[in-house]
Structure 1
Amino acid sequence: MSAASAGSAAAPVGPRHRVLVVDDQALIGTSVQRMLAGQADMEVQFRRDAASALQAAISFGPTVILQDLVMPDVEGAEMVRRFRALPETAHVPVIVLSAVEEPAVKAALLAGGAADYLVKLPDPIELAARVRMHSEAHARLLERNAAFAALEQANADLARERERSERLLHVVLPHAIAERLKSGPQVIADVHADVTVLFADMSGFTELTSRCSPREIVELLDEIFARFDELAATHGIEKIKTIGDAWMAVAGLPEPRPDHVEAMADLALELVRAFDELATRRKLPTRLRIGLHTGPVVAGVIGRDRFAYDLWGDTVNLASRMESHGEPGRVHLTATTAARLGDAFDIVDRGDIVVKGKGPVRTAFLVGRRPRG
C-alpha cells in the first residue's frame, strides 16, 4: 500500500472506531447498531443491501465491517470478496454475523478474507470488545503500511540523491578515480611515470576582456572550453581543469596508454584549428598558444567537500613554461616530446630557450601530422 493509500484510509476524523453494519433485516441491523451506539469511541452506520454498503464503505471509511452471512442479493463470501476488492476496504477487518454456528462455513469465510465470525445476536460486551480489537489492529496495520511506504520513499529519494551525487562525481573526476572514491574515503595520490601534459592559453585575452561585458566573457569561455572538452573526449584525453582563460589536459592517465604522446599532439593541432575557426567566426583578436611536455607526474584528489583532480611535478611546470614561452597560433613542445613523435609529425626545431628555474631547454614547434601511408 502506498503512503497516499494509507493516508486516505486513515483520513476520516471523529470517533476512533467506525463500524459499518450490513444486514438485509432491519430489525437485526438496528439491534446491532443500538448495541454499539452507547460506546463513546464508536460511530455506526447501517446498510441493508450490497450496493449501498459498498458506497458507504468508500464514503464512511469504516475501521470494521459487521456483515450478515445470508443476504438476498449476494452470498456472504462474495460480499467479503467485494470488500477486499475495494482499495478503501482491502484491509478493513470484516466480521461475519450468522444465525448459526457452522464450522465449515466459518473456515471457508476465514480462508476467503473474513477476520472473524460471530453468531447473532452477539453479547453487546463481547461485540464491542471484538470491534475494538479488530479496529485497533487495522489502525496498527495502516500505521505499519504508512511507515513502510515512507521508508520506501526515503530509500527511493536516497537512491536518486546517490545517483545524482555519482553523476556529479563523474563530471568533476575521471571515471576510474570516481569509482575508487565511491568505494569509501581514501587518499588518492598516484605516480604516473609517463604522460603528456598540455596547457592552452589565449593570447590577447586580457585586452579582449576590457572590451566585453562580464556576461559576454563567460559565454565566450563557455563556448570555447565546451568545444575543447568535446575534442578531448573524442581523443580519449583527460581534461584536468580551466584556470581563467587557460585550459589543461593530460594523456596517459588515469589509465596508461602507449600512444599518449601522439594522441596529445593530434589534440593540440585540432585545438588550434578549432580555436582559429571560432575566432574568425566571432572576429576575435586573439589566438591560441599551446605547450606540451612528456614525463612523470603525481596525480591525486584534493578537497573534502569539493573534490578536484590535479597533477603535480616538474613535467607539469615545464609544460606550462612551453605554453608561456610559445607563440600565438602554434604548438610549442620540448625536445623530449618531439623525439617521442618520431616521423609521424612535421616538427620545426626552435633551439634552446632559457626557462626560469631550468636554464636552457631545447624546444620545437609542432607543425602538423604527416599523411599516413
Structure 2
Amino acid sequence: MKDECTMKTETQLSFDADFDLSNAQITVLLVDDQPFIGKMIGSMLKEEPDIIFHYCQDARKAIHMANHVSPTVILQDLTMPDVDGLQMVKYYRLNTFSRQTPLIVLSGQEDAKVKADAFALGANDYMVKPPDRIELIARIRYHSQAYINMLQRDAAYRRVEEQSAELEIRNQFIKKTFGRYLSDDIVESILDTPEGLELGGEKRKVTIMMTDLRGFTSIGERLPPEDVLAIINIYLKSMTDIILKYEGTIDEFIGDAILVIFGAPVFQEDDARRAIACAVEMQQSMETVNKKISRWAILKFVWGLALILERLLLEISVQKNDPSMGLLEAMST
C-alpha cells in the first residue's frame, strides 16, 4: 500500500491524445479516513499485478491527488470527518480531471436513500464496507476498463477530427491551385483519387487542342502594354469559361496561346467529341470577344486552332511541388 496521499507520477494515466492508451493500467484511488480500511483494501489488491493502488486519508487532499495519479476508478468513503462523502462526489464531478472518472461510494450501511443521493450526484456504484475481495476486484476491473475504453474512443475521435482538418486544408489547397485550370467535376475527381497527385506519371490516350490569336504579336507591338493586357484578359477569360464548361484541362497559357487536354487527369470516353464541341463554341465566341475589344480600334482577331483528334499516348505528371500538369512525351498511336 502507498503512503497516505502519495503520488506516483510515473504511472499516471495520460489524457494526452498522443499517449498510448492500449497499455494503460488500472489505477485505484481510495479516499477513506480509516487507515485500517486502507490497509485492508491495499492487501486485497496487492496480489493483482495489473492494478496500481493509491490511498488518501485526508479528503481535503483527494482532488489534488486525483489530478496527479489520474485514477481509472475512485473508491470514496461516505462518512469523512472534514468533508461529507456525498459532497466529495459533487466535487469530483465539478473537477475537470475527474469529471468522468468512475466513482464507487463505500458506506458502512445499506441505505436506499443514501444510494439514491449518491447516484444523483454522479456516483457510478455503491458498495457496503467491508467489501468482498472478489466482488471489489471485479467492480474495479469493470469500471476501469469501461473508462479506459472511453478514453481510447475519445482519443480516436480526436485523431479523426485532426486528420479531417488536415485533409480539408489539403483539399482547399488543391481547389485553389487547380480551380483556375480545371472544371469543378475534375477537381472533385482529383480529391476523390489523391493518388493521382503522386510524383511520376502514367501513359494515357488523350486529345489535345492548341489555340491562339493569329497576328496577335504584331498587333500587340502597336499598342500600349496596358491595352495588350486588357485585350488578352478579355480573350482568355472567355476561352477559359468555355474550356471548363466542356471539362477540358488547361495545361498552359503561352501568351495568347492555350494548350488544352481532354482525357487528363480524368479520362472519359467522349474526350474527342467534347474537344470538337469546345472548339466550335470557342470559334463562335470570337464574335463576342471582337466586339468587346472593338474600342481599341484594331482589326478583328482571327482565331487559330490545332486540334489533334488522333489520340496520343502521353505521359502526364503532376508534381507535388509544382501544381502544373506537364506533357513529357507524345507519340502517335
What's the CA shift for 1:157?
2.8
What's the CA shift for 1:104?
2.6
Equivalent position of 1:265 in the other structure: 290
What's the CA shift for 1:100?
0.5
1:86 aligns with 2:111: no
What's the CA shift for 1:265?
3.1
Equivalent position of 2:176 in the other structure: 167
Equivalent position of 1:369 in the other structure: none
Secondary structure class of the residue paired with 1:160: helix
What's the CA shift for 1:140?
1.7
What's the CA shift for 1:108?
3.0
Largest Rg, 1 or 2? 1
CA 1:29–1:151: 2 relative to 1, 3 Å: same
Matches within 5 A, 1:209-248: 231-232=233-234, 238=240, 242=252, 247-248=257-258
CA 1:176–1:140: 2 relative to 1, 3 Å: closer
| Alpha-carbon distance between aligned partners in 1 of 2:21 and 2:186, rounded to the nearest angstrom | 50
Conserved? CA contact 2:236–2:256, under 8 Å = no
The one-letter code sitting in structure 2 at the alignment partner of 1:153 is E
Conserved? CA contact 1:68–1:97, under 8 Å = yes
Conserved? CA contact 1:66–1:96, under 8 Å = yes
What's the CA shift for 1:233?
9.0
Secondary structure class of the residue paired with 2:179: helix
Conserved? CA contact 2:73–2:144, under 8 Å = yes
Secondary structure class of the residue paired with 2:106: strand
Equivalent position of 2:72 in the other structure: 63
What's the CA shift for 1:178?
4.9
| Alpha-carbon distance between aligned partners in 2 of 1:64 and 1:291, rounded to the nearest angstrom | 82
| Alpha-carbon distance between aligned partners in 1 of 2:61 and 2:137, rounded to the nearest angstrom | 24
What's the CA shift for 1:79?
1.8
1:293 aligns with 2:308: no
Secondary structure class of the residue paired with 1:172: coil
The correspondence for 1:102, drawn from 111, 116, 133, is 111
Matches within 5 A, 1:111-150: 111-150=120-159
> Across the two proteins, how many residue pairs are aligned to each other?
262
Deviations 1:188-207 (A, max 9, x none): 99xxxxxx96468657xxxx
| Alpha-carbon distance between aligned partners in 2 of 1:99 and 1:270, rounded to the nearest angstrom | 98
User: Which structure has the higher relative contact order (CA within 8 Å, separation 6+)?
Assistant: 2
TM-score (norm 2): 0.58
TM-score (norm 1): 0.53
CA 1:176–1:265: 2 relative to 1, 3 Å: farther
What's the CA shift for 1:99?
0.8
Conserved? CA contact 2:21–2:151, under 8 Å = no
CA 1:69–1:228: 2 relative to 1, 3 Å: farther
Deviations 1:28-81 (A, max 9, x none): 333323332332222211112333111111111211111111223333333223
Equivalent position of 1:26 in the other structure: 35
State the identity %.
29
Conserved? CA contact 1:67–1:96, under 8 Å = yes
CA 1:181–1:58: 2 relative to 1, 3 Å: closer
Matches within 5 A, 1:137-216: 137-174=146-183, 178=187, 198=213
| Alpha-carbon distance between aligned partners in 2 of 1:171 and 1:9, rounded to the nearest angstrom | 43
Conserved? CA contact 1:231–1:271, under 8 Å = no
What's the CA shift for 1:246?
5.2
Q: What runs of 5+ residues in structure 1 fail to find an aligned partner?
A: 190-195, 204-222, 274-288, 309-373
CA 1:11–1:59: 2 relative to 1, 3 Å: farther
Secondary structure class of the residue paired with 2:170: helix
Equivalent position of 1:343 in the other structure: none
| Alpha-carbon distance between aligned partners in 1 of 2:154 and 2:85, rounded to the nearest angstrom | 28
| Alpha-carbon distance between aligned partners in 2 of 1:179 and 1:10, rounded to the nearest angstrom | 36
What's the CA shift for 1:266?
6.5
What's the CA shift for 1:143?
1.8
What's the CA shift for 1:18?
1.3
Equivalent position of 2:5 in the other structure: none
CA 1:171–1:12: 2 relative to 1, 3 Å: same
What's the CA shift for 1:9?
7.8
What's the CA shift for 1:21?
0.6
